[in-house]
């Protein structure tokens, strides 16, 4: 049992829409100070898992625990208990300036600039006029400047150039290490995510099919990408491969 030391944990989680599970039998946990990557092909159920962990979707079965205690409260209450959530949808207010985007979230622009000095000359600009990368820096800065104990981030770096992906992920890594933030990161940029993560869960068709430390899976990355992460793997008919014991 990982409960006592886990910031976030789920056991036997089934989750989905309208009572239909698209994710089943999910056990995972995140401890303080560790970055955990959740990877898998499109449609595997990563976003559904995060939404359920965040309290945006009710579990169909199983339980979600924060700080070792089962919780059923909605996201805003989980946020009060230290959960930050960067959703898959880009969530900046395009007509507000960068500074206003921070202030409406109760974040001082200076705290965001400490994380991303790149934002300093952009603070008075409408968020809608920022590049995709700048918008994501703003989004991540807004979440991290509130010093969450736990951060869930869904496709933070979607569609961004490799250098920006690296910049965002390295910031996540640094904050996790320096502030003992526990991070659960859904990422398409698998190799870059694993470069900064401690552990990884691979999800395929609603199941966790591999879990382990990054060191354990590093030697198998080619195989994992071909077997589990490619679009072809996502579309393969038939039962999901037997989950590996770990």
Ligand X SMILES: Nc1ncnc2c1ncn2[C@@H]1O[C@H](COP(=O)(O)OP(=O)(O)O)[C@@H](O)[C@H]1O
Tokens at 213, concatenated: 């430390």
DSSP code of residue 239:
P
Q: Which does 217 bind (CB under 5 to 8 A by kind): ligand X, Mg ion, none?
A: none
Q: Looking up tokens 């499109």, which residue turns up?
A: 42
Tokens at 112, concatenated: 């965001």
User: In a 3-state reduction of DSSP, which class is residue 145?
Assistant: coil
**In the bound complex, what is the minimum distance in angstroms from residue 206's beta carbon to Mg ion?**
13
Binding test (CB under 6 A) with ligand X, winner from 7, 24, 28, 48:
48
Q: Which does 22 bind (CB under 5 to 8 A by kind): ligand X, Mg ion, none?
A: ligand X
As a whole number of angstroms, the distance between CA 108 and CA 100 comes to 10
Binding test (CB under 6 A) with ligand X, winner from 21, 22, 32, 221:
22
Tokens at 206, concatenated: 């609603």
**Which ranges of 55-189 does DSSP label H, i.e. alpha helix?**
75-80, 98-103, 109-115, 132-144, 162-179
Residues shown for the chain: 246
Binding test (CB under 6 A) with ligand X, winner from 3, 5, 12, 42:
42
As a whole number of angstroms, the distance between CA 134 and CA 137 comes to 5
47 binds ligand X (CB under 6 A): yes
205 binds ligand X (CB under 6 A): no
User: In a 3-state reduction of DSSP, which class is residue 95?
Assistant: coil
Q: Which is nearer to ligand X, 22 or 105 (CB)?
A: 22
Query: Interface with ligand X by CB under 6 A: which range of 42-50, 68-76, 110-118, 160-168?
Result: 42-50
Site residues (CB under 5 A) for Mg ion, limited to 39-58? 47
**In the bound complex, what is the minimum distance in angstroms from residue 106's beta carbon to ligand X?**
28
Site residues (CB under 5 A) for Mg ion, limited to 164-183? none
Query: Contact at 8 Å (CB) between 224 and 40?
Result: no
Looking only at the bridges linking them, the beta strands covering 199-204 and 35-39 are parallel
Tokens at 154, concatenated: 């869904």
**In the bound complex, what is the minimum distance in angstroms from residue 56's beta carbon to Mg ion?**
13
Q: Looking up tokens 């994710």, which residue turns up?
A: 23
135 binds ligand X (CB under 6 A): no
Query: Interface with ligand X by CB under 6 A: which range of 43-51, 118-126, 128-136, 238-246?
Result: 43-51
Residue nearest to Mg ion (CB): 47
Q: Which is nearer to ligand X, 23 or 176 (CB)?
A: 23
Give the residue among 79, 171, 220, 173 at the shortest CA–CA distance from 211.
Answer: 220
**In the bound complex, what is the minimum distance in angstroms from residue 49's beta carbon to ligand X?**
7
Please give the residue ranges that form the binding site for ligand X (CB under 6 A). 17, 22, 40, 42-48
Please give the residue ranges that form the binding site for Mg ion (CB under 5 A). 47
């Amino acid at each position: 049992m990982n409960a006592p030391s886990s910031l976030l944990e789920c056991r036997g989680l089934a989750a989905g829409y309208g009572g239909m599970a698209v994710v089943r039998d999910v056990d995972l946990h995140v401890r303080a100070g560790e970055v955990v990557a959740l990877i898998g092909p499109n449609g595997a159920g990563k976003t559904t898992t995060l939404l359920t962990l965040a309290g945006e979707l009710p579990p169909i079965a199983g339980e979600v625990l924060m700080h070792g205690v089962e919780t059923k409260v909605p996201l805003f209450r989980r946020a009060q208990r230290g959960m930050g959530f960067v959703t898959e949808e880009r969530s900046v207010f395009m007509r507000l300036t960068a500074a206003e985007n921070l202030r409406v979230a109760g974040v001082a622009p200076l705290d965001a600039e400490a994380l991303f000095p790149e934002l300093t000359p952009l603070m008075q600009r409408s968020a809608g006029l920022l590049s995709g990368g700048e918008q994501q820096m703003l989004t991540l800065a807004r979440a991290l400047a509130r010093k969450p104990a736990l951060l869930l981030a869904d496709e933070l770096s979607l569609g961004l150039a490799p250098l920006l992906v690296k910049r965002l992920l390295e910031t996540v890594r640094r904050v996790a290490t320096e502030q003992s933030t526990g991070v659960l990161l859904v990422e398409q940029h698998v190799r870059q995510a694993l470069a900064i993560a401690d552990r990884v869960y691979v999800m395929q068709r609603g199941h966790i099919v591999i879990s382990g430390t990054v060191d354990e899976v590093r030697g198998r990355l080619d195989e994992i990408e071909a077997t589990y992460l490619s679009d072809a793997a996502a579309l393969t008919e038939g039962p999901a491969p037997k989950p590996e014991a770990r």
